[in-house]
Structure 1
Amino acid sequence: MSALEPIDADVADVPAGDLLEGGILGRERRALSFGIITVVLLIAFEATAVGTAMPVAARRLDGVSLYAFAFSAYFTTSLFGMVVAGQWADRRGPLGALGVGISGFAAGLVLSGTAMNMWTFIAGRAVQGLGGGLVIVAVYVVMGRAYPARLQPTIMAAFAAGWVVPSVVGPLVAGTVTEQLGWRWVFLGIPVLVVFPLALALPATRRIASGPADPAAPVEPFDRRRIKLALGISTGAGLLQYAGQDLRWLSVLPFLAGAALLGPAVVGPRALLPHGTWRSARGLPSVVLLRGVAAGSFIVAESFVPLMLVTERGLTPTMAGLSLAVGGATWALGSYVQARPRVEAHRERFMVAGMVLVALAILAAPSVLLPAVPVWVVAVAWGVGCFGMGVVITSTSVLLLKLSAPREAGANSAALQISDGLCNVLLLAGGGAGFAALGGGSVAGGSGSHPGAFLVVFLPMGVVALGGVFVAGRVRVR
């Protein structure tokens, strides 16, 4: 039995042959498991490789002042893709969203890799985000349909393990390619990897998890109201991000417009998120909110770690990327721990402890702005934080599927990912505004050291993560 496939409590007495047949690598699910794990590998390699090359790309395209846009553009368009994918999967099955999403993801990489200016580069990231939003929700629906509840923690742990090799190899490969061949080849090389998951995952999805959730029910048309809300949330998030980067008084106008568009989509009576999400109501609303708080605070902080190490401590892009490499292994370890049968009864406590580790990691990272602090402190801190993220993020996915009826799996999965992406965008907008206001663009351009520009990113993210400790204590319905 693979270490990624722990024996669940309710199948511990089943003969080994039956367990293999019924496991994630059993004959029935083997191709599907390999296919969707490969999709995760692709996304993981993109995230680690692109994160390593991004500081160089921003400098070469004279767009360091727009650095935060390169990340938030992905999250902004992915919000729209998530809502579309949720409806697509619930009404017609996840197959179409998965295929179109993977193709769009690759097309965005090509556009960014061939960009001649920063705005074209950002446009490529936006296309990539749209594809990524379709993919992530479709994968969740596939998991909910193809894997019984006893196997869902295991396939989630396998996904986390899929980040290990890219986290270790990705920064090294991306840094070497960036330094020897140029940053463009980091983006243009990844789309080649799309062929394998398309060839493996799509036929398996068609065979096991295609079609609507209820084949006997008539196929419903797309909910136009939700599509309009999705456009509103995506456009509103983009306007808020723009307002955060433009420090002139005129930026108040796009800020107000963005807030007006976001309101009905996230807190209105027919919002895209479960009722009670923003007040952390117990159960599903807190699960959805925790996903956004954890992912938003950690990913935003992580986005600025390579830039901080390159500009403030003089590391090469390769070494800056490698400082985060250990996080892939500890994230997988945290995900593996949550998949153990004995953890289920104490899952809430583990999630609270995980958020404490995340907050400590974020708050410890900027200590390397002091010359006396060795840079390996970031690697240690991020390893600890990633362990906490492995516990928290995977557990939110497991709890979401447990709390969702089959016909609601797509919509609830979309809500989980919307919370993730929206918090990323909003926190990036705030962090990016503070970074720019304190001279972050000139810092990255090589005109001096301003540690405050990084502190204004990391310290607020640490406070947000501490708020997640409270939310984690409310994911169970008492």
Structure 2
Amino acid sequence: MTAPKTLDAPYQPPRIFGPEYRTATFGILLVVTLIAFEGMSVSTVMPLVSKDLDALDLYGVSFSAFLIAGLLANVVAGLWSDRRGHAVPFVLGVVLFAAGMGLAGAAVSKELFIVARAVQGLGGGAVIVAIYVMIARVYVPEVRPRVFAALSSAWVLPALIGPGLSGLIAEQIGWRWVFYGIVPLVVPALVMLLPALRGGEETRPEPATGPRSRPLAMTLAAFATACGAGVLLYGVDRLHGTPVPGAVASVAGLLVMAVGLSRLLPPGALKFGRGLPTTVLMRGMLAAGFFGVNAFIPLLLTKVNGFSVGEAGIALTIGALGWTTGSYLQTRWSGDRPLLVRIGAAAVAAGILLTLPAALWGVTGWITVPAWVIAGFGMGVGTTSVNVTAMRQSPDAEQGANSAALQVVDTLGSALTIGFGGALVNLIGHDDIAAGYTSIVAMTAAVALLGVAVAGRMRDAS
């Protein structure tokens, strides 16, 4: 008599902290945590940096220099990852990032500080693209939403202690030690991650042969995009003092940037083509809305509401917690991802608008705390869903190019709105920060609402 047949156990996807993925997951999270400390800390201490280096006129440029340099690194790292693997751009990126932090701490002029921020951007841009390629090649599709959620969770500790700790260090010791303090963290992070860098390299697909796989053409396009964006922001920043040269530089920069960008993104992206083209652009619109305000909240709270630097950092802290919550909740979602992105964009727009009363006389600046929880929640829901959708829509041989495209539009969206915001502070709010902040809110909320309108085009044409 034979034993009764039993049904096979249902498939259970591996756990991201299980034996198969543990090393890669811890390595990735460690480096993302390092980058998160930089992001949360620098935003908090920038009012002190601008005061000490007499750089209020370059407040937005210091952020944009980081982002535009990162744009160039995004493309180069994506190309290298597709053709040679992600290990080299990852390691080189971490080293450059640490070097930039050291240079920023040692800066004795605003020009040197901006150069240091650009070096940080080169490193950070390479690292993030390499991480996305690693996720696509190491993890099976079923667990990728959890990995991206874990990346957002890596911001929790920096969000909880980064702004407050950096504010305390800046006030008690000096803002330079906020930068110096991150540098030693690079060594253990890099040592722990080296074994994980080999993961996925043995399964690297054959390189793609399309127009976005040509190293020289793509590098030139990235250089044109970065230079065009830089010239555009320079021109916009000069509109308040020398309007005619500023306008000429702005138009020239916009044209050069558009030509380069058309080569970096999936075909049809600039026309919001259905599927992957719009998916990639949604990442940029979410970033433009959120970070275009995020960079100026500490300035508003310290200059208008009388907050200390440490107190101003609390709003950024709570926003990051909202981001983590949204990112976790999207792992429970099994429905339409474009709908989830639309919800995220709407939450970002709502959070931006809800910060506006803080610019009014007699209204407490603490209103930015619940507002930034809502905006952060929208980013957690939206950006993670964009990342998951983009990896699903990407052919294996184009994972590096599309990971780079995601970072390019993220970087460009953030750089442009922060740069335009800095120009608005100079043009409108140099003597009235509240008025300048109000104009920034109007600009970024419009971008987020555009994202709400076009999110449905993320669905494939079929």
Whether 1:96 and 2:88 are equivalent positions in the alignment is yes
Q: Which residue pairs with 2:457 in the alignment?
A: 474
Q: Which moved more, 1:167-176 or 1:371-380?
A: 371-380
Q: Which position in structure 2 is the counterpart of 1:463?
A: 446
Partner of 2:385: 395
Which stretch has the larger CA shift, 307-316 or 328-337? Answer: 328-337
- Say if 2:103 is the partner of 1:111: yes
Residue 209 of structure 1, CA deviation: 2.1
Which secondary structure does the structure 2 equivalent of 1:345 belong to?
A: coil
Structure 2 residue 228 is matched with structure 1 residue 236: yes
Candidates 235, 239, 245, aligned match of 1:250: 245
Q: Is contact 1:93–1:211 with CA below 8 Å preserved after alignment? A: no
Post-superposition offset of 1:217: 9.9
The residue that corresponds to 2:174 in the other structure is: 182
Q: CA deviation at 1:26?
A: 1.6
User: Residue in 1 aligned with 2:396?
Assistant: 406
CA gap of 1:12–1:227, structure 2 versus 1, over 3 A, is farther
State how far apart, in whole Å, the 2-side matches of 1:411 and 1:391 are. Answer: 24
Conservation of the 8 A alpha-carbon contact between 2:55 and 2:110: yes
Structure 1 unmatched runs, 5+: 1-10, 444-448
Inter-partner Cα distance in structure 1 for 2:261 and 2:208: 29
Other-structure match for 1:210: 201
Instruction: Please name the residue that 1:260 is paired with.
Output: 255
After TM superposition, the structure 1 = structure 2 runs for residues 318-467 of structure 1, keeping only pairs within 5 Å, are 318-340=310-332, 343-440=333-430, 443=431, 449-467=432-450
- Cα distance in 1 for residues equivalent to 2:94 and 2:437: 34
Can you list the C-alpha shifts for 1:344-378, whole angstroms capped at 9, x where unaligned? 22322222111111001111112111233222210
Equivalent position of 1:120 in the other structure: 112
Residue of structure 2 aligned with 1:292, choices 276, 284, 289: 284
Partner of 1:47: 39
Q: Please give the root-mean-square deviation of Cα atoms over the aligned residues, in Å.
A: 2.0
Aligned length: 449
Task: Supply the distance in 2 between the matched residues of 1:409 and 1:125 (Cα, whole angstroms).
Answer: 28
Q: 1:212: how far off?
A: 7.5
8 Å Cα contact 2:105-2:176 kept in structure 1? yes
Q: 1:446 maps to which residue? A: none
Task: Specify every segment of 5 or more residues in structure 2 that has no aligned partner in the other structure, as ranges.
Answer: 1-7
Please give the alpha-carbon distance, in whole angstroms, between the structure 2 residues aligned to 1:213 and 1:233.
28
TM-fit CA distance, 1:400: 0.7
Q: CA deviation at 1:280?
A: 1.5
Structure 1 residues 202 and 12, CA, compared in 2 at 3 Å: closer, same or farther?
farther
1:127-206 equivalences under 5 Å are 127-206=119-198
> For the residues of structure 2 that align with 1:58 and 1:216, how far apart are their CA atoms?
45
1:214-229 mapped onto 2 (5 Å cutoff) = 214=205, 223-229=215-221
Deviation at 1:283, TM superposition (A): 0.8
Per-residue deviation, residues 79-100 of structure 1 (Å, max 9, x unmatched)? 1000000110000000000000
Query: Deviation of residue 227 (structure 1)?
Result: 0.8
Letter in 2 for 1:451: A
Residues in 1 aligned to 2:321 and 2:246: alpha-carbon distance in whole angstroms: 42
Q: Deviations over 1:28-67 (max 9, x none)?
A: 2211110001111111111001111111011100001110
Partner of 2:296: 304
* TM-score normalised per structure 1: 0.90
* Residues in 2 aligned to 1:333 and 1:221: alpha-carbon distance in whole angstroms: 37
Q: Which residue of the partner structure matches residue 5 of structure 2?
A: none
Code of the aligned partner of 1:152: R
Contact 2:206 2:397 in 1 (8 A): no
Shift of 1:216: 9.8
CA, structure 1 residues 255+211, in 2 after alignment: closer, same or farther (shift >3 Å)? farther
Say which is worse superposed, 421-430 or 30-39, in terms of deviation. Answer: 421-430
Contact 1:171 1:321 in 2 (8 A): yes
The CA distance in 2 between the partners of 1:299 and 1:291, in whole Å, is: 12
CA distance in 1, matches of 2:288, 2:120: 19
**TM-score with structure 2 length normalisation?**
0.93
* Alpha-carbon displacement from aligned partner over 1:423-475 (angstroms, at most 9, x marks no partner): 122222322222211142xx4xxxxx442111111111111111110122221
**Identity rate of aligned residues, in percent?**
39
Amino acid at match of 1:471: V
The corresponding residue for 1:62 is 54
- Is the contact made by 1:338 and 1:347 (CA closer than 8 Å) also made in structure 2? no
SS in 1 for 2:295: helix
Question: Helix, strand or coil for the counterpart of 1:182?
Answer: coil
In the aligned structure 2, how far is the partner of 1:429 from the partner of 1:216? 36
